[in-house]
């Protein structure tokens, strides 16, 4: 995709939208990381959005140091807004990895408590996956989310959010960034959450499931995963398994009480074997705990964690918000009954996050991973990473 065309399109969209607003109504400006322009009656809004996540990391295994490198984990630019009160839109491009890919491209008809969204967006799966990378506690999401290929697809979904309950279900087919056959398989996905409030906090309970068909002519699936660093190679890998689809089930539990947060999930994936073949079953999950030593609390909205509000930002002379965290993470890609030995990876992760203000933070993560089975049996891998993040 041509970068100049994309930037020109974003700029033109912003100009036309802001011009329409100024002609129709008085113009209001609010700052939410970047300026948000809106009509006085709130029927029209537009805001530039984006993020930069710059990473450095090292990875060492039984052979010594194998990675010492940098990357942009994300470098996104886009727009979001409202047209005629209840029609929302979002369009965002990611330039990381020397590629240009559409991240989110959605049109939403927002009718409280129900909404319908169409476009390219995440399938409704997993608390960790639905929480934006801007707000996750660790630099990388839990292993099972990547190993089981949770992703964005083109689709349509209906959502409900009211009285501490959220529900979303949709049908998806294909990807905005190409790939796949001319006859694409469909994904049917749903997720439900319940979040009762407590004095000083809340509990989150959730579950999700999907059934994902292969594209026509594709009769294999594969699951694999890195240790907790995107710069790392993959140490557990099933290689290709004969199957025409797969099915996932997952459960979620989290709790926040003031500065303390506890979060955990477990998921099961089954590759559905060809006629007369064998199904293969895998699983993975995590549990973590985090604490703001400066007293803040994790944000939460519509079934996912949200932005942290920093009490004493650095630019106001404060110390920012300091968060410490630890996680136990497992992904098991071995099923001896199905004769698949992809390996089991167990990781121990600790991290420190320094939020300078509501829109920027520094992150430091250390992890130790042990491999049992597979091509890298008995490997022990250590990673250390730093992230410098800003979003708007």
Domain ranges of the chain: 51-391
Half-sphere exposure of 82 (CA within 13 A, CB side): 15
Q: CA angle 255-347-296, nearest 5°?
A: 30
pLDDT digits 0-9 by tens, 182-197: 899 999 999 999 999 9
Q: Which of 210, 223, 110, 220 lies closest to 170 in space, CA to CA?
A: 210
Alpha carbon distance 237, 303 (integer Å): 31
In sign, the C-alpha dihedral spanning 307, 55, 381, 352 is negative
Domain spanning 51-391: which CATH class is it, in words?
Answer: mainly beta
* Peptide bond between residue 113 and the one before it cis (omega within 30 degrees of 0): yes
Q: Do 313 and 357 touch, CB atoms closer than 8 A?
A: yes
> Would you state the pLDDT for residue 276?
85
pTM over 0.75: yes
> Would you state the pLDDT for residue 24?
46
Q: Which residues contact 45 (CB under 8 A, 6 or more apart)?
A: 21, 36, 37, 38, 39, 81, 82
Bridge partner list, 82? 45, 88
Alpha carbon distance 75, 79 (integer Å): 14
Q: Do 103 and 94 touch, CB atoms closer than 8 A?
A: yes
> Would you state the pLDDT for residue 181?
73
Residue ranges in the chain whose pLDDT is less than 70:
1-25
Check residue 1 and report its DSSP letter.
-
What is the phi/psi pair of residue 22, to 5°? -65, -30
> Would you state the pLDDT for residue 21?
46
> Would you state the pLDDT for residue 363?
98
Q: Do 77 and 95 touch, CB atoms closer than 8 A?
A: yes
Number of helices (H) and strands (E) in the chain: give both, helices first. 3, 25
Alpha carbon separation from 137 to 32, 117, 330 (Å, rounded): 21, 27, 17
């Amino acid at each position: 995709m041509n970068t100049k065309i994309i930037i020109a399109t974003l700029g033109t969209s912003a100009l036309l939208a802001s011009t329409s607003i100024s002609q129709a109504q008085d113009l209001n400006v609010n700052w939410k990381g970047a300026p948000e322009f809106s009509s006085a009656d709130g029927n029209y809004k537009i805001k530039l959005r984006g993020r930069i996540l710059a990473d450095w990391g090292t990875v060492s295994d039984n052979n010594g140091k194998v990675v010492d490198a940098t990357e942009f984990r994300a470098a996104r630019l886009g727009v979001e807004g409202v047209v005629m009160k209840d029609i929302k839109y979002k369009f965002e491009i990611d330039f990381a990895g020397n590629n240009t890919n559409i991240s989110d491209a959605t049109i939403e008809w927002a009718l409280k408590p129900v909404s319908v969204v169409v476009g390219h967006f995440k399938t409704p799966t997993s608390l960790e996956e639905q929480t934006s990378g801007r707000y996750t506690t660790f630099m990388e999401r839990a292993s099972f989310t990547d190993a089981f290929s949770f992703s964005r697809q083109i689709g349509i979904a209906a959502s409900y959010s009211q009285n501490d309950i959220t529900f979303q279900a949709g049908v998806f087919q294909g990807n905005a960034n190409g790939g796949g056959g001319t006859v694409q398989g469909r994904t049917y996905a749903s997720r439900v959450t319940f979040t009762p409030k407590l004095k000083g906090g809340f509990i989150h309970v959730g579950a999700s499931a999907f059934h994902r068909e292969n594209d026509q002519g594709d009769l294999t699936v594969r699951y694999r995963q890195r240790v907790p660093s995107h710069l790392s190679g993959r140490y557990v890998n099933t290689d290709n398994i004969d199957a025409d689809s797969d099915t996932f089930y997952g459960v979620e539990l989290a709790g926040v009480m003031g500065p303390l947060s506890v979060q955990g999930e477990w998921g099961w994936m089954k590759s559905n074997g060809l006629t007369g073949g064998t199904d293969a079953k895998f699983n993975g999950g995590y549990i973590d705990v985090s604490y703001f030593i400066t007293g803040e609390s994790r944000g939460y909205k519509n079934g996912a964690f949200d932005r942290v509000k920093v009490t004493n930002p650095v630019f106001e002379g404060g110390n920012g918000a300091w968060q410490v965290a630890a996680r136990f993470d497992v992904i098991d890609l071995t099923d001896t009954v199905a004769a698949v030995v992809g390996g089991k990876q167990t990781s121990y992760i600790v991290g420190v996050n320094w939020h300078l203000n509501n829109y920027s933070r520094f992150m430091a993560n250390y992890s130790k991973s042990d491999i049992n089975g597979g091509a890298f049996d008995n490997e022990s891998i250590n990673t250390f990473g730093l992230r410098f993040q800003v979003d708007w």
